[in-house]
Chains A and B, each alone.
Chain A
Amino acid sequence: MSEGIGARVLRKEDKRFITGSGKYTDDVRETNQCYAAFVRSPHAHAKIKGINKSPAEGMPGVEAVLDGKQLTGDGIGNIICGWMIHSKDGSPMKMGAWSALATETARYVGDAVAVVIADSLARARAAAEAVEVDYEILDAVITTEQALADGAPQLHPEAPGNLIYDWEIGDKEPTEKAIADAAYVCEMEITNNRVAPNPMEPRSAVATYSPSEDHYTLYTTSQNPHVARLVLSAFYQVAPEHKLRVIAPDVGGGFGAKIYIYPEEIVCLWASMKTRCSVKWTADRSEAFLTDAHGRDHVSKARMGFDKDNRIVGFQVDTIANLGAYMSLFSSSVPTYLYATLLSGQYDIANIHCNVRTAYTNTTPVDAYRGAGRPEACYLIERMMETAARDLGIDPAELRRKNFIREFPHQTPVIMAYDSGDFEANLEAAMKAADYAGFEKRRSESASQGKLRGIGMSCYIEACGIAPSAAVGSLGAGVGLWESAEVRVNPVGTIEILTGSHSHGQGHETTFPQLVSDRFGLPSDNVQIVHGDTDKVQFGMGTYGSRSGAVGMSAIVKALDKVEAKAKKIAAHMLEASEGDIVIEDGEVKVAGTDKKLGWHEVCLGAYTAHNLPEGMEPGLKEGAFYDPSNFTFPAGCYICEVEVDPETGTTRIVQFVASDDFGTIINPMIVEGQVHGGIAQGVGQALLEQAVYDESGQLLTGSYMDYAMPRADDLPSYMVSHETTICPGNPLGIKGCGEAGAIGSPPAVINAITNAIGNNALSMPATSAKVWQAINAANVKEAAE
Chain B
Amino acid sequence: MYETVYHRATSTDDAVAKMAEAEDAKFVSGGMTLIPTMKQRLAAPSDLIDLRHIDAMKGIAIDGKKVTIGAATTHAEVASSSELADLCPAICNLAGHIGDPHVRHMGTIGGSIANNDPAADYPAAMIGLGAEIMTTKRTLPAEDFFVGMFETALEDDEIITAVSFTAPDKAAYSKFPNPASRYAMAGVFVAMNGGDARVAVTGAGSDGVFRHTGMEDALSSNWSADAVSDAEVDEGDMLSDLHGDARYRANLVKVMAKRAVAAAG
B3 touching A769, Cβ below 8 Å: no
Query: What chain A residues lie within 8 Å of B181 (beta carbons)?
Result: 705-707
Q: In the complex, which residue of chain B has the Cβ closest to the Cβ of A651? A: B176
For the complex, what is the distance from the CA of A661 to the CA of B179, rounded to whole Å?
Answer: 30
Binding stretch for chain A, among B139-147, B153-161, B189-197, B237-245: B237-245
Residues on the A chain within 8 Å of B213, using CB: none
Given that A649-B255, A706-B180, A709-B180 are contacting pairs, would A126 and B2 also be in contact in the complex, using a CB cutoff of 8 Å?
yes
On whether the beta carbons of A769 and B179 are closer than 8 Å, the reply is: yes
Q: B102: CB under 8 A from chain A?
A: no
Q: Tell me the minimal C-beta distance from A365 to chain B in angstroms.
A: 22
- Chain A minimum-CB-distance residue to B255: A648
Asked if A770 and B41 sit within 8 Å, CB to CB, the answer is: no
Q: Which residues of B contact A434 (CB under 8 A)?
A: none
* Known A693-B242, A768-B243: A709·B251 in contact at CB below 8 Å: no
Given A770-B244, A773-B248, A707-B255 contact (CB < 8 Å): no
Given the interface pairs A701-B242, A707-B243, the reply to whether A768 lies near B2 with Cβ below 8 Å is: no
> Does B40 interact with chain A (Cβ within 8 Å)?
yes
Within 8 A of A (CB), among B189-220: none
Q: Known contacts being A122-B3, A701-B242, is A709 close to B248, with CB within 8 Å?
A: no
Q: Chain B residues with Cβ under 8 A from A688's Cβ?
A: 179
Q: A768-B243, A770-B244 given as contacts; is B176 within 8 A of A649 (CB)?
A: yes
Interface membership of B252, Cβ < 8 A: yes
Contacts of B255 in A (CB 8 A): 648-649
A311 within 8 A of B: no
Q: Given that A649-B255, A768-B243 are known contacts, is A125 also in contact with B179, CB under 8 Å in the complex?
A: no
A114-151 CB mask vs B (1 if < 8 Å, else 0) is: 00000000100110010000000000000000000000
> A residues within 8 A CB of B248?
650, 770, 773-774
Residue of A nearest to B39 (CB): A284
Contact of B40 among A286, A708, A710, A715 (CB under 8 A): A286
A702 beta carbon closer than 8 Å to chain B:
yes
The CA-CA distance from A769 to B178 in the complex, in Å, is 10
Tell me how many residues of B have a C-beta within 8 Å of chain A: 19
Instruction: Mark each residue of chain A from 696 to 716: 1 if its CB lies under 8 Å from any CB of chain B, else 0.
Output: 000001100111111000010
- Which applies to chain B's interface (DSSP): helix, strand, loop or mixed? loop
Does A329 touch B at the CB level, under 8 Å?
A: no
Do B179 and A709 have beta carbons less than 8 Å apart? yes
Complex CA distance for A126 and B44, rounded to whole angstroms: 12
Contacts of A649 in B (CB 8 A): 176, 251-252, 255
Docked pose: A774 CA to B240 CA in angstroms: 14
Chain B neighbourhood of A706, CB < 8 A: 180-181, 183
Closest to A125 in B: B41
Considering only residues 207-265 of chain B, those with a C-beta below 8 Å from chain A are 242-245, 248, 251-252, 255
User: Which residues of the partner chain A approach B243 to less than 8 Å between Cβ atoms?
Assistant: 707, 768, 770
Determine whether A689 belongs to the interface, using a CB cutoff of 8 Å to chain B. yes
In the assembled complex, how far is the CB of residue B14 from the closest CB belonging to chain A, in whole angstroms?
A: 29
> In the complex, which residues of chain A have a beta carbon less than 8 angstroms from the beta carbon of B183?
706
List the B side residues contacting A125 at CB < 8 Å: 41
Q: How far is the CA of A773 from the CA of B185 in the complex (A)?
A: 14
8 Å CB interface, A671-695 against B:
688-689, 693
Cβ of A646 to closest chain B Cβ, rounded Å: 9
Give A59 Cβ to nearest chain B Cβ, in Å: 13
The complex places the Cα of A590 from the Cα of B183 at a distance, in Å, of 67
Residues from chain B with a CB closer than 8 A to the CB of A650 are 248
Closest A-chain residue to B252, C-beta based? A649
Q: Which residue of A lies closest to B180 (CB)?
A: A709
Q: Which residues of B contact A773 (CB under 8 A)?
A: 248, 251
CA distance A769 to B242 in the complex (A): 12
Instruction: Tell me the minimal C-beta distance from B257 to chain A in angstroms.
Output: 12
B17-32: which have CB < 8 Å to A? none
Cβ B252 vs Cβ A705 within 8 A: no
Identify which of B3, B40, B180 contacts A705 (C-beta below 8 A). B180
In the complex, are the beta carbons of A707 and B242 less than 8 A apart? yes
CB nearest neighbor in B for A121: B1
B129 to chain A, nearest CB (A): 25
CA–CA, A702 and B242, complex, Å: 9
Which residues of chain B have C-beta atoms less than 8 A from A708's C-beta?
A: 180
Residues of B within 8 A of A768 (CB): 179, 243-244
**A122 — nearest CB in chain B belongs to which residue?**
B3
Give the distance in Å from the alpha carbon of A773 to the alpha carbon of B254 in the complex.
14
Q: B245 — nearest CB in chain A belongs to which residue?
A: A770
Measured between beta carbons, the chain B residues less than 8 angstroms from A710 are: 180
Is B180 a contact partner of A707 (Cβ separation < 8 A)?
Answer: yes
B137 → A minimal CB distance (Å): 33
Instruction: Please report the C-alpha to C-alpha distance between residue A707 and residue B242 in the assembled complex, in whole angstroms.
Output: 8
Give the Cβ gap from B186 to chain A, nearest Cβ, in Å: 9
With both chains docked as a complex, state the minimum distance between the C-beta of A711 and any C-beta of chain B, in angstroms.
9
Q: A649-B255, A774-B248 given as contacts; is B242 within 8 A of A689 (CB)? A: no
The listed residue with most B CB atoms (<10 A of its CB), out of A650, A689, A706, is A706
Q: Give, as a whole number of angstroms, the nearest-CB distance from A439 to chain B.
A: 27
Interface residue ranges of A276-290 to B (CB < 8 Å): 286
List the A residue with the shortest CB-CB distance to B3. A122
Rounded to whole Å, the gap between the CB of A643 and the closest CB of chain B is: 15
Binary A-proximity of B66-99 (CB < 8 A = 1, otherwise 0): 0000000000000000000000000000000000
Closest CB of chain B to A198's CB: distance in Å?
A: 12
| Least CB separation from B247: chain A residue | A774
Q: Which residues of chain B from 91 to 118 have any CB-CB distance to chain A below 8 Å in the complex?
A: none
Q: Report the minimal beta-carbon distance from B15 to chain A, rounded to whole angstroms.
A: 27
User: Nearest chain B CB to A126's CB is how many angstroms away?
Assistant: 7
Q: A709 to B181, alpha carbons, bound, how many Å?
A: 7
A507 to B239 alpha-carbon distance, docked (Å): 46
Q: A707: which B residues are within 8 A, CB to CB?
A: 180-181, 242-243
B179 touches A689 (CB 8 A): yes
A308 → B minimal CB distance (Å): 43
Contact residues in B for A286 (Cβ distance below 8 Å): 40
Give the shortest distance, in Å, between A413 (CB) and chain B (any CB).
40
Chain B residue with the shortest CB-CB distance to A703: B40
- Rounded to whole angstroms, the CA-CA distance of A696 and B245 in the bound complex is 17
Q: Chain A residues near B180 (CB, 8 Å)?
A: 689, 702, 705-710
Q: Which residue of B lies closest to A710 (CB)?
A: B180
Bound Cα distance A708, B181 (Å):
8
Chain A minimum-CB-distance residue to B258: A648
Across-interface contacts of B176 in A (CB, < 8 A) = 649, 769
Q: Which residues of B contact A (CB under 8 A)?
A: 1-3, 40-41, 176, 178-181, 183, 242-245, 248, 251-252, 255
28 CB-based A-B contacts, threshold 8 Å: A122-B1, A122-B2, A122-B3, A125-B41, A129-B41, A649-B251, A650-B248, A688-B179, A689-B179, A689-B180, A693-B242, A706-B180, A706-B181, A706-B183, A707-B180, A707-B243, A709-B178, A709-B179, A709-B180, A710-B180, A769-B176, A769-B179, A770-B243, A770-B245, A770-B248, A773-B248, A773-B251, A774-B248
Which 6 A/B pairs are nearest by Cβ-Cβ distance? Answer: A709-B180, A770-B244, A709-B179, A706-B181, A770-B248, A648-B255
